Amino acid sequence: MYHIKENNQITPLDHEESYKDLGVTFDEKLSFRDHIHDKVHKAYAMLGIIKRNFNYISINSFILLYKSMVRSLLDYCVSVWVPYRKGDIEVLEKVQKKATKIIPEIRHLPYTERLKACKLPTLRFRQVRGDMIEMYKILTGKYDADVTPKVLRVYDSTTRGNMFKLNKDRAKYDLRKFYFTNRVVNAWNSLPDHVVLSETINTFKSRLDKFWQHQDMIYDFQAELHGTGSRSLHHN
């Protein structure tokens, strides 16, 4: 039992195993398992509605419905709860796997080929891309600095990397290791200056997509994200 003391009054606080705030469910261990389960359940419900109302659906119609009704649920505030455990990543990706099988012309193809036919990236790639966009907004002052996580900048001009290169905190536990300001470092530092120094968010997105256009992770969620060479950006 937890207590709070105010004006010499001791008030007991109820213990909650999870709490929902602004549409995101936080649990006491910050695993976000409850949140992921809730979003996956709602996404499947939306897929069911699409399947029941369309005997046949074209690729273009599917993409329009999927992005607005299903993927939007899995994208909401994802930089807060983005999963790092393999099982959670697979549970989310399975939604998109099943969704792309709705399209008659491509349901017989492997998942990677279905994604290419729809020009849909993996959810895992979108999560990493979303992290880059959030970091760009933080470093360029698009958010109030008083409410954004603190990032460790590297100001040594002799080090390799872009002008906004970041430093990584040492982390003993996974919870800290995969916290936003740590998990983004390797991928962010691999970006060239012409990407991170973009004048606007839309320009940043465009340049980032062009720089990463040959990443295997775009259509293979189990692939690692790589820089210009073969060095992994996530497991150094």
The string of DSSP codes covering 34-81 is: HHHHHHHHHHHHHHHHHHHH-SS--HHHHHHHIIIIIIHHHHTTHHHH
The pair of three-digit structure tokens given for residue 107, joined into one six-digit string: 């349901």
Q: What is the reported pLDDT for 104?
A: 95
Structure tokens at 2: 């937890």
Q: Does residue 178 fall inside a structural domain?
A: yes
Give me the tens of pLDDT residue by residue for the chain, a chain 236 residues long: 555 666 667 777 676 777 888 888 888 788 899 999 999 999 999 999 999 999 899 999 999 999 999 999 999 999 999 999 999 999 999 999 999 999 999 999 999 999 999 999 999 999 999 999 999 999 999 888 888 888 878 876 666 668 888 988 887 888 788 889 899 999 999 999 999 999 999 999 999 999 999 999 999 999 988 754 333 344 33
5 within domain boundaries: no
In a domain, 236, yes or no: no
Domain count for the chain, please give it: 2
Query: Do residue 132 and residue 208 come from a single domain?
Result: yes
Where is the domain boundary, 85, 100, 120?
120
- pLDDT, residue 208, reads 97
Tell me: do 82 and 140 sit in the same domain: no
Residues 103 and 179 in one domain: no
Q: Are residues 43 and 99 in the same domain?
A: yes
Please report the pLDDT score of residue 231 as a whole number: 36
For the chain, count helices (H), then strands (E): 12, 6
Helix axes 123-139, 86-100, angle to 10 degrees: 120
Q: Are residues 132 and 156 in the same domain?
A: yes
CA distance 146 to 167: 20
**Does residue 233 lie in a domain region?**
no
Distances (CA, A) of 113 to 106, 121, 132: 8, 11, 26
* 26 & 58 share domain: yes
Single out the residue in 101, 120, 139 at which a domain terminates: 120
The answer on 137 and 109 residing in a single domain is no
Cβ pair 113, 100 in contact under 8 A: no
Q: What is the pLDDT of residue 232?
A: 39
In sequence order, the β-bridge partners of residue 3 are 12
- Structure tokens belonging to residue 5: 């003391």
Domain assignment of residue 80, yes or no: yes
Question: Do 95 and 136 share a structural domain?
Answer: no
Q: Do residue 133 and residue 186 come from a single domain?
A: yes
Looking at the structure, tell me whether residues 149 and 213 fall in a common domain: yes
- At 204 the pLDDT is 97
Based on the fold, state whether residues 103 and 165 are members of the same structural domain: no
Containing domain of residue 198, as a range?
126-218
pLDDT at 229: 35
Q: Is residue 232 part of a domain?
A: no
Q: Are residues 132 and 99 in the same domain?
A: no
CB 82, CB 127: distance < 8 Å: yes
